[in-house]
Every structure is written in structure tokens, then in C-alpha cells.
Structure 1
Amino acid sequence: MTRFRNPILPGCHPDPSICRVGDDFYLVTSTFEWFPGLPVFHSRDLVHWRRVGHAFDRPDQLPLDGVPASGGLYAPTLRHHDGRFHLICTLVDGAEWSGHFVLTADDPAGPWSDAHRLDGAGIDPSLFFDDDGRAWCTGTRLTGRYEGHTEIWLREYDPSGPALVGEEHVIWDGAVKGAIWAEGSHLYKIGGKYHLVTAEGGTALEHAVMTARADAVTGPYEGNPRNPVLTNRHLGLGHPIVGTGHGDLVETPDGEWWMVLLAMRPHHGDRCVLGRETFLTAVRWMDGWPVADPVEPVRAAPSLPPAPWPAEPACDHFDGPDLAPGWNTLRPPRERWWSLTERPGRLRLRLRPETLAAGANPSFVGRRQEHPDFAAFTALEFAPRDDEQAGIALVQNGDFHVLLVSTERGLRLLKREQGVETVLAEAPATGRARLGFEGHGRWYRALYATEPGPLVPLGPPVDGDMLSSQVAGGFTGVYVGLYATADGRVGGGHADFDWFEYRPLPGPV
């Protein structure tokens, strides 16, 4: 029996939802304010995944402009019915509108439809297609009865609208006394009964998976006597995997059941710079109830033929016509401020007034940090003037990020913490420079070179605690990428990046 290593999707890939079509599995995760959003992944063995597209890849599909950090696209659910994919999600804190919406596609790689807005309060909507031809939608909303108390509502879903129709039913409000944040609900019909799977306890150390079942889709639902069916809350701090929850079930063609879920790998205590990642664990059935295996770093793989995909290159030489699909921007770009054709073999970023701190769409392209120990490097060609700067950045949000940038005054290592910017170190530099960060668990080290030869450290190591969501707030992990700004000035020039390399590093022995 082969084994696999968790997480199956490292880096900030929270709130996974999965569906199977024949021998193929498809999965989508939350992306909040990042664009393109709602990445769609494909697998044949539940272990090896490749990105086939994004459900949100056109700025006009959704009004994501101006959403705050950790606003935007929350907890999607992906389902397939009658030859069509349905993705339901919530836009939170949108400037033009907020609420639930559905995207549809014949091919998971796209194109996906524009957003069809739906009624319903709260977050975490999910779709369920029953075997009698009817379809249903569940969602989560606060009740106000006490802090954090929520309830799960159910309404019929008409795919032809699409629209929610008919009477609303409240079917659940938590498995334990005083439950908080019963959310992330999914419905299934298994063995003639309707099974409700929910998250509970909040998406941190107290996270858990609860289940209930009923004879009718509208209830009443009885709780699983073994609840929670999955949690690491009892293991406390120091465990390598914490915050297990928000699960979605899938059955393999030969009848095995598995759960994808989110969890975190803290670098110490509850601090985690990687964000909430996607993990996989087995599910067994006892007396008609699901029981999930513990979530382990390494475990036995599903009984499916291994189906790895070709590895993505560690180095992007920017020799294609457009950005590779692993790159993201903060919020949708409404103008083309990057180019790979003006100087072939280079990524050119235009210097614009927007900064990372502005809550807008700055000239920044980033990718997820996926490993506790990693190295990311680039080669920059840049002639700054005034307050212009360009270089490499570690981004949690607008108030918490770290920059290694070339400026008119030379290289600068800058830390922005709680909205306050501090210069940590400086070095002389002109023209071309190689810049990078190495991450080693809690600590990040900035490195640079202005001449051929090895890179050398700039300044002291930066404490990564400030980039964890436990300190900086929000729901995302760290992104590392390339940045350029004219810092409020209009009519700036440009910065050219020759290549960008990201590699995992061996961890501590």
C-alpha cells in the first residue's frame, strides 16, 4: 500500500470542497481578496492535484474591487449534476453587493459563467442534488442568541434560475451545548438517510467536524453520538497539525470514503504563516454513521492507481505570453500594469501610485508560500527615482508585510507591522540586483547580491509571527512575490524582473 504526505494542497488553500465525476475528482478552495479566485484542481487519486483553471478569472464576473483583507470569496462548494458543474459561494464585504452567488460551467477548466446572485443570509452555502430530481441549498447565519451562535438553514434550489425557492427550514444549530460557529455545512444522501456534515468551534484550535442525519431532507436531524467525528482540539499546542475542520466527503469508484478538510501546520504554538491548507483523511462507517481517521502528516493512500502530474518548474523565466496560472494579484486588475512582451524574457511591472498598504490593486504578483522552509529569489533591473521602490515582498495583508526593495537610497529591508513601517536594514545598490528571502519556520532572512557570486544576508532575521493570521488577523497565509510602486506618484516608470524561483528547503532535523 502506498503512502502520501499531508497536506495535499499546501499553502493557503482553505475551505476545500470536492466532487467526483466518474474516475475524476475536482476540488475548489476559498481565495478571499486574491485574483484569479476560486482555483479548480483535478486529481485521479485524491493525492496528486493539478490546477486546471479558476472559476473567477474575469474581473467583471464579480465586484471584488475594494474588498478588505480577508474579505471577498468565502467557502465555495463544488458539485456536478446532469453534466454541469455548479459552484456556490459567498462574496463578503463587496463594495457593490455582498451575498451568495452561483457560477456554472460545462468544463471545470472553464469558461465559468458570470455570477448569478441568490437570496439567503450569512455565509458558507452548499448545494445538494437529491436522487428524486430536487436540489437544495444550505447556509449559515448568526442568530444573535449569544456570541458566535449560528444556525443552518435549508431552501430548495432551482438550477434553471438559478434561484432559491419555497419555504425555508432551520435544520441545525450545533452539536454541543453552547456551540459556536456551526458552519460549512454539506448534505449527502447515503444509505437512504440524509447526512449533514458541519464545522463547529471556529476555524482555529477548537475547530471540529460534526455530523447529523435524518430520514427527510428537511429534518429533524439527530446528532451523531460520536461527535465530534474529527478534531484535534483535545491535542492542544505542540501538535504538528491543528485546527482540523470544514470537511467535505467523497466516495471513490470502489466504495472508499474520504474527507478533504482544512487544517494548519503551526511553526510554534498556534502561530502559522502558511494559512489553512487542504488535508485528506479516510472515513469509515459504523452503525450508519461516518467516523474520520485522525489527520496525520503521512498515512496510507487511497486504493486508487497513483496518478502524479508533471512537476511545475521551480523557476519562472517569464518567457510565455502571460503570467503562469500560479500567480495572483490583490483584487482584480482593471488595467494591464504588467507585461511579458515589452521586453521578452522579463516581467515588467509598471510603477503606479498604489501600494500594498492601500487596500487597492497594487503592482504586485504573488504566489502562496507552501512550505515552512523555503527559498524565493529574483533578479531585478531597476533605476529608481524619488520614492519609487521595487523588489520582493512577503505579504500577509496591507498592515503586515515585509519588503526587500531597491530605492533611490539603495536596498532597504522594510517591515510594516500594525500599519507602521520600519526600516530594518539598508545596503548600497544600483542597477541590477538579486534579491530573495529564505524562510525557516518562524524566521525569515533577507538575502541580496549586486555582483556575481553568492547572496549575503541583509539585516537581522525577521520574526514571522507578525505574518501569522493569529497576529495579523484574517484568514489567509503568506504570499511571496514581486512588487513595484511609485508610492502615490502618477507617471512612474517600470521595474524588470528577469526570473523568479521558489524552492522548498530541508526542514530541521
Structure 2
Amino acid sequence: MPTRSARPILPGYYPDPSICRVDGAFWLVNSSFEYLPGVPVHRSADLVHWEQVGHAYARPSALPLPGGDAGSQGTFAPTIRHHDGVFYVIVTNMGQDPLSQRIVRTTDPAADWSDPVEVPDTPGIDPDLCWDEEGVCHLSWRGVSFETGTAVSTLRSVPIDPGTGRRLGEAVELWQGTGMRDAEGPHLYRRRGWWYLLLAEGGTGIGHCVTMARARELTGPWEEHPGNPILTHRSTDHPVQATGHADLVPLDADGWDGARFAMVHLGIRQLEPFPGYHVNGRETFLVGAHWEGDWPVVVEDRYAEAIAARDASSTHAFTDELRGRPGPVADADAPWDLPDQWVSPGGLARAALARNEAGRLRLTAPGDDAAPRPLLATRCRDAAWRAEAELVVEPGAAVELCVYLDPGHRAAVRWDGDRAVAVATAAPFEQTLGELAAEYMEAPQGRALRMWVSAQLPESGFFGQRVPDELVLGVSVDGRDIELGRLDGRYLSTEVAGGFTGRVVGVRAVSGTATIERFIYQPL
């Protein structure tokens, strides 16, 4: 029996993958929603080992986000493409009014990207770019209109100038899918005189799937792939569910005229108990594909052994002291001076970060008590993990080591000047899980305070796990871990909270200023 492809190439919250290949290198982008920097960019030579090289939307002006830390707004479903020596990334910025598509470009994705141009009168999500043989660029997207008083979705395409965003013609309607809900994520490909249209259908939950059709003209008629859906795991016991939102990349020297392809797609890995919970978000997976006659056929196990071997010899562990030059981590509209794994919901940490004379990173809460609290965080990449933060907290300040899913769903170890307390927030409810008074911690004000949180997998019983995982929160005193509380991981799962992101963990300023001496993340 072939090995089932159950391991992601990008574990953690990396949904809606798009991929292209240029001169032997593969380039991959993902949705980042309300996080800034936005749209992470990864590079690979073999499709299995990936290195992040930056973000396509690193400056606040390139990605004006909704106010505060609004969950699951911001960037939806980017596409990366290369044409005539230039890379393009197009994305929807939800929460922007009027809603339109934004394009940035560069000749080197590991370097800086241009200022964005907007394509007017394209309300909707999931934009795609494709060039025909005459060099005309076609923008396709899932359009949304309110002409009847309710939202009506239609897959559309329009020729544009990608350098200026100017429309070059009238929009046409594309194939609308097989009839399942939420036909979206369109990707057009040009192959041997045909337009091939790849779609996601069935919703981005456990009904998700990948379908395809082709036509000689964009206006149709469209011919369905005889094997639709060409990829889905719905109603199976496969450990990866919600497979959809795919993108193809050619592997042969013949490009789109060749036979060998790879496909990236999103999926989730749900944990028990019934009905299943995923906590680290929608992840990026890889399968093979090859053309048989007129159509591609997915080969799910092509890369399974290579990915398993990679995971056996690699780790997501890191230790970061976040040192740098004194002063702000970002001046005006410049990208911030932090490693690529660090992000902030709403970009709120950007204005709250500065380095002291010794180059140590300081995080300061806003003076307005009603303002959202800034969080500097990194994605949770593993099923079981531990994160530690060593902080120096100024007198009167309060700071957290926080596991965060969205503004209403988080768990944290908080130091408030008098005690260390484990707190959990789910929807409108906040609960204290446990605490330790300052007198038992040798008065850490002005000294290094060490807080930790871990995600632990429980032992399975006869009917499986009682909870998907447990979040354990505590402090370290004299080198000894003291547990303050535990939280059922379901409360920080997408099935409970909703939304499109996954867990991150990091330092959150509640009031005053704290200095980050060290941050450690390691799988368990």
C-alpha cells in the first residue's frame, strides 16, 4: 500500500498556497489575513525543503489592515506568477473599502517588493493572474455583487495591465464549478491551445475539494474534468482533511506543455475527540500530478517518503535574543528589522517595538486602555511544543506570554506586578486558571522573569483522546518549572473560534514596558 501523504511541507498556519517555478527554484506564497508583515514568501529547490525569504507585503502602506486586531481580515488567497523576468503577487485585502485586488512586483522575491497597484471594480476574493500567448494578462477572481440585496458569487476574468492595474476590457464569467457550494480560488493555466481552470469547491471545511474544467475560449463552453473532484479527502479516514485551494506547477523543461507537475494545496489535521479539532490552522501540503491525455491526474504519494525523511532530520526549534541596533525596529514605512518568523496581528507591535541602548527589544503597551494590546508572535508549527520567554518587566507594567488564535480566544501566563497568573479567554469569558504571588518568585520586578507555555498531547483511551491537546501554562523559579494551570485545547481551535488562521505564540504587552531577553520555541 503506498505511503499516504499526511505531512505538510509548511506546517502551521500557512493556508491558500500558490506556487511558481523560475530557473529551477520554486516560490510559494500564502494568505496571512490580519498579520503584518503579510503574505510570507518561501523558496525551495526540491519542493520538500523550504526557506522563508521575506514577505510580499512588508510595509504598512502596502497592506492597510482593518483597525485593531480584527480576526481573519486582511490578505485573502494570494497568487504568485512570473512573466518576462518579473514576479507578481496579487491578493485581496479584506476590510478595505472599496474592495479590490492589489498587485506588487519584483525581479527578486527575496528582496523588496514594489508599492502595490490596485485593480478597480473587482470586488471579491481569491485573485489569479495568467498570461495568454499574445502576452495579455488575465485577472480572474471570485466576484461578489449585491445587486439583488444579497451576496452573489460569480467567477470572473478580465484583461488588465498588471503594472498599472488598469482594466483592458470587459469582465467575462468563467465556469462556475460542478454545483457544490463556494466555487472559489480560481487558477487559470494556458496549455496547448486550451484554458484550464482549477477551482476549490465545497467550502473551506471538511467538504473542501479540487475540481477542473477546460475551454478553448474564456467565455466557454467549458468541459468538466471526467474525474472531478480531482482531489478530496471528504468522507474518508485520511488524517488530512479539508483538502482544497490548490495550485499547479510544471516540472518538465517543456513547462505547461510537459507531462509532470506538482500540486500544492491546503489541508487540516484534526485531533480527537469527535467531531475533530484543528488548532494550528490550515497548512500547506504537496502532491504530484501528471497529464494523461487531456487531463491531469493527482498522484498523492509521490513526495510522501521525501517529506517524512525531511521531518525525521529537521526541527522547528529556535532560540532568539532579538538583538539589533538601538532605536525603533522600523522607521516610518520601512519593513521592520526582525527575523521572518515574527509577525503581529493588526501589525500593532510595529509601533510598540524599539531597542534599548544594549540592543535589547522592548515592547510597550499603548496608553489608551481601550486600544488593542500589541502582540509579537510566531506560528505554532508542531502538534506538541513548548515556548519560553525571558523578560525584564518595568515597575508597574504587565506582560504576557500568550497563545493566540484571535482577539477573543487566547491563553496566557501574565505578570501584573503582584503575581504570575494563568488566564484563558474564550469568546466573552475570561477565567483565571491559577496564580503564584510575587513573594514566591523572589520579586522579579526589574529582574529576568521566565514564563512558559506548552501544548501537550494527552494519552489516548479506548475511545481516543479526551481533548485535542492541553495548553499548560507556568513560570520557572530557580530553574524549577511551576505549573499554574491547564486549558482544554478545544477552546483555542478553529472549530470553536471560527476564522481562517491558526495558533501563534508570543509576547503581549498589557501595560507599561517589558524587555525581551530571550524567546525559545521547541517541539516536544
Same fold by TM-score greater than 0.5: yes
Tell me the distance in 1 between the aligned counterparts of 2:351 and 2:184. Answer: 38
Structure 1 residues 60-71: aligned runs within 5 Å:
60-66=61-67, 68-71=70-73
- Partners of 2:317 and 2:522 within 8 A in 1: no
Corresponding residue of 1:465: 490
For 2:25 and 2:261, locate their aligned partners in 1 and report how far apart those are by CA, in whole Å: 15
Q: One-letter code of the match for 2:297?
A: V
Query: Paired residue for 2:363, among 345, 349, 368?
Result: 349
Which amino acid is 1:264 matched to? I
Q: What is the CA-CA distance between 1:312 and the residue it aligns to?
A: 7.1
Amino acid at match of 1:330: P
Superposition map of 1:78-117 within 5 A: 78-94=80-96, 97-117=98-118
> What displacement does 1:150 show?
3.1
1:56 aligns with 2:57: yes
Shift of the alpha carbon at 1:53?
A: 1.1
Counterparts of 1:143 and 1:351 in 2: how far apart (Å)?
40
Give the equivalent residue in structure 1 for 2:216: 215
Cα distance in 2, alignment partners of residues 485 and 286 from structure 1: 58
State how far apart, in whole Å, the 1-side matches of 2:364 and 2:164 are. Answer: 42
Of all paired residues, the percent bearing the same amino acid is 35
For 2:25 and 2:520, the matched residues in 1 are separated by 31
Report whether the alignment pairs 1:328 with 2:331. Answer: no
The alignment covers a number of residue pairs equal to: 481
Give the whole-Å Cα distance in 2 for the aligned partners of 1:60 and 1:478: 26
Give the Cα separation in 1 of the matches to 2:481 and 2:306: 40
- Cα offset, 1:219, TM superposition: 2.2
Q: CA deviation at 1:190?
A: 2.1
The answer for the alignment partner of 1:41 in structure 2 is 42
What is the distance in 2 between the residues matched to 1:45 and 1:239?
25
- Once the two structures are superposed, residues 178-214 of structure 1 have per-residue CA deviations (whole angstroms, 9 ceiling, x without a partner) of x211000001112332110000011010000000011
Give the aligned partner of residue 381 of structure 1.
392
1:489 counterpart residue number: none
Q: What does residue 479 of structure 1 align with?
A: 504
1:19-418 equivalences under 5 Å are 19-66=20-67, 68-94=70-96, 97-119=98-120, 120-142=122-144, 150-176=153-179, 179-235=180-236, 239-253=238-252, 255=258, 256-268=260-272, 269-294=275-300, 299-301=304-306, 314-321=318-325, 322-333=337-348, 336-344=351-359, 346-353=360-367, 360=372, 362-385=373-396, 388-418=397-427
Q: Within 2, Cα distance between the matches of 1:121 and 1:363?
A: 30
**Aligned mates of 1:264, 1:313 — CA distance in 2:** 22
- CA distance in structure 2 between the partners assigned to 1:19 and 1:127 by the alignment: 12
Letter in 1 for 2:450: R
- Deviation of 1:111 after TM superposition, in Å, equals 1.5
State the alpha-carbon separation in 1 of the partners of residues 22 and 225 from structure 2: 28
For 2:491, what is the secondary structure of its paired residue? helix
1:67-88: CA deviation from partner (whole Å, max 9, x where unpaired) = 6210111000010101111111
TM normalised by structure 1 equals 0.88
Amino acid in the other structure paired with 1:446: L
Tell me the equivalent position of 1:436: 452
> Which 5+ residue runs of structure 1 have no aligned equivalent?
487-491
Larger CA deviation: 77-86 vs 439-448: 439-448
Aligned partners of 2:151, 2:351: CA distance in 1, in Å? 42
TM-score normalized with structure 2 length: 0.86
The answer (yes or no) to whether the contact 1:65–1:332 under 8 Å persists in 2 is no
**8 Å Cα contact 2:5-2:300 kept in structure 1:** no
User: SS of the residue aligned with 2:480?
Assistant: coil
- Cα distance in 2 for residues equivalent to 1:40 and 1:365: 19
In structure 2, relative to structure 1, the CA distance for the partners of 1:270 and 1:392 (3 Å cut) is same
Q: Post-superposition, which runs of at least 4 consecutive aligned residues in structure 1 deviate over 6 A?
A: 1-5, 143-149, 308-313
Q: Which residue identity does 2:411 align to in structure 1?
A: V
* Structure 2 unaligned regions, length at least 5: 326-336, 458-468
Distance 1:74 1:185 in 2: 13
- Structure 2 counterpart SS, 1:231: coil
Once the 2 structures are TM-superposed, how far is the Cα of residue 129 of structure 1 from its aligned partner?
A: 1.0
One-letter code aligned to 1:257:
F
Where 2:351 maps in the other structure, the secondary structure is coil
Q: 126-135 vs 314-323, which deviates more?
A: 314-323
Check whether the contact 1:2–1:301 (CA below 8 A) recurs between aligned residues. no
| Secondary structure of the corresponding residue to residue 26 of structure 1 | strand
